[in-house]
């Protein structure tokens, strides 16, 4: 919507013939009124949950500076994105122009950088039994930490790693912690955020105990946090859909890891039911979660002032899902 406004506004100031400029002005007025309604609705929604910062994992196609604008078009107050093409190991460095534009665009859409949760590439596996492959992942993660530093971001979310049936889960977690220590030693001002996983395949980090074990091996634990993914949590075997289950899950989290480590939420419905250990996200209200969970999350003060990011599979529904959550 923002792009359309700027596009038609530009046409009204161009050297087009008078008739075409009048048409452009009409379209500008239409889009401006629609945008005003959107902003009014979103602002009204925020007043109900002023301390919740919800967004989605948006595309950075065309450059990282585009990500904040795409989040702004959704009425988001937070967002996630990939710092570089997540299917490739190498990427061009950011230019100064890109960095300045990213920061300016965040300010333009009113999203504070502490509510931005960049996601590391899925290529990495710092729990790999192969030392050379671990080193490659470590070097790539260090590069992403430096990119966070350049953009003024304080968090880097990642999936812990996989043992690939070549080593034990414990050895895999020890490798993960060792590589995290190395990554943290070569960066500053950015937290590594461990995401809980569904337990699919040979991935580790699907129990709170596993995440706590990794954190216990970190030399500077103040630079490590946790992101809880709701779909992964259900699939891993934690019942979070009922009031009793929700309370029990968070009590276990606090007892084993601690609320002080909670940095972010990935808010997803699930295509798979409790304990299936299969990672399949679904749009809000269309999977096995029901609706009570999302109301409980929105009313939970422990989740205030941290990024809450949708990774649901239909981007066309993100604005609607964000508005729905704020209205709960």
Given 254, 311, 320, 324, which residue is catalytic? Answer: 311
Given 65, 73, 143, 195, which residue is catalytic? Answer: 195
Given 169, 229, 269, 282, which residue is catalytic? Answer: 229
Six token digits for residue 23: 């048409």
Given 144, 279, 282, 321, which residue is catalytic? Answer: 279
Given 122, 166, 188, 299, which residue is catalytic? Answer: 122
Is 115 annotated in the active site?
no
d(CA 277, CA 281): 12
Is 57 annotated in the active site?
no
Contact, 27 vs 35, CB < 8 A? Answer: no
Cα-Cα-Cα-Cα dihedral of 229, 235, 236, 237, to 10°? 120
Contact, 46 vs 19, CB < 8 A? Answer: no
Strands annotated E in 94-221: 155-158, 161-162, 191-195, 203-204
Given 49, 119, 134, 147, which residue is catalytic? Answer: 119
Pick from 327, 308, 324, 328: nearest CA to 71: 308
Is 87 annotated in the active site?
yes
Is 122 annotated in the active site?
yes
Is 302 annotated in the active site?
no
Task: State whether the Cα torsion 176-182-183-188 is positive or negative.
Answer: positive
Given 266, 269, 282, 321, which residue is catalytic? Answer: 266
Six token digits for residue 190: 């950015």
Given 281, 282, 321, 326, which residue is catalytic? Answer: 281
Is 311 annotated in the active site?
yes
Is 195 annotated in the active site?
yes
Is 266 annotated in the active site?
yes
Is 281 annotated in the active site?
yes
Is 280 annotated in the active site?
no
Given 70, 77, 115, 232, which residue is catalytic? Answer: 232
Q: Which residues contact 144 (CB under 8 A, 6 or more apart)?
A: 83, 84, 118, 120, 121, 156
Is 159 annotated in the active site?
yes
- Name the residues annotated as catalytic: 87, 119, 122, 159, 195, 229, 232, 266, 279, 281, 311
């Amino acid at each position: 919507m923002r792009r359309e406004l700027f596009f038609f506004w530009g046409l009204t100031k161009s050297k087009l013939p008078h008739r075409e400029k009048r048409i452009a002005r009409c379209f500008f007025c239409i889009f401006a009124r629609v945008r005003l309604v959107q902003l009014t609705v979103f602002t009204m929604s925020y007043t109900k949950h002023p301390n919740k910062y919800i967004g989605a994992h948006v595309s950075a196609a065309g450059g990282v500076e585009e990500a904040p604008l795409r989040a702004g078009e959704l009425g988001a107050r937070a967002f996630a994105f990939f710092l570089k093409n997540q299917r490739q190991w190498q990427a061009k460095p950011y230019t100064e122009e890109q960095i300045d534009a990213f920061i300016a665009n965040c300010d333009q859409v009113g999203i504070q950088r502490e509510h931005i949760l960049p996601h590391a590439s899925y290529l990495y596996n710092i729990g790999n039994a192969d030392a050379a492959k671990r080193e490659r992942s470590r070097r790539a993660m260090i590069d992403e930490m430096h990119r966070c530093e350049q953009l003024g971001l304080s968090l880097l979310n990642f999936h812990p790693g996989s043992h690939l049936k070549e080593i034990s889960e414990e050895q895999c977690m020890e490798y993960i912690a060792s590589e995290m220590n190395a990554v943290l030693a070569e960066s500053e001002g950015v937290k590594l955020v461990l995401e809980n996983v569904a337990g699919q395949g040979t991935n580790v980090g699907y129990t709170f105990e596993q995440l706590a074990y990794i954190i216990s091996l970190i030399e500077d634990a103040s630079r490590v946090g946790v992101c809880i993914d709701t779909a992964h949590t259900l699939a891993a075997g934690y019942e979070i859909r009922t009031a009793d289950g929700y309370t029990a899950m968070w009590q276990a989290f606090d007892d084993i890891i601690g609320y002080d480590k909670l940095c972010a939420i990935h808010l997803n419905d699930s295509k798979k039911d409790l304990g299936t250990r299969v990672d399949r996200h679904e749009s809000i209200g269309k999977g096995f979660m029901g609706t009570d969970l999302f109301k409980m999350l929105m009313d939970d003060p422990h989740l205030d002032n941290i990024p809450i990011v949708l990774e649901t599979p239909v981007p066309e529904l993100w604005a609607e899902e964000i508005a729905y959550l704020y209205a709960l």
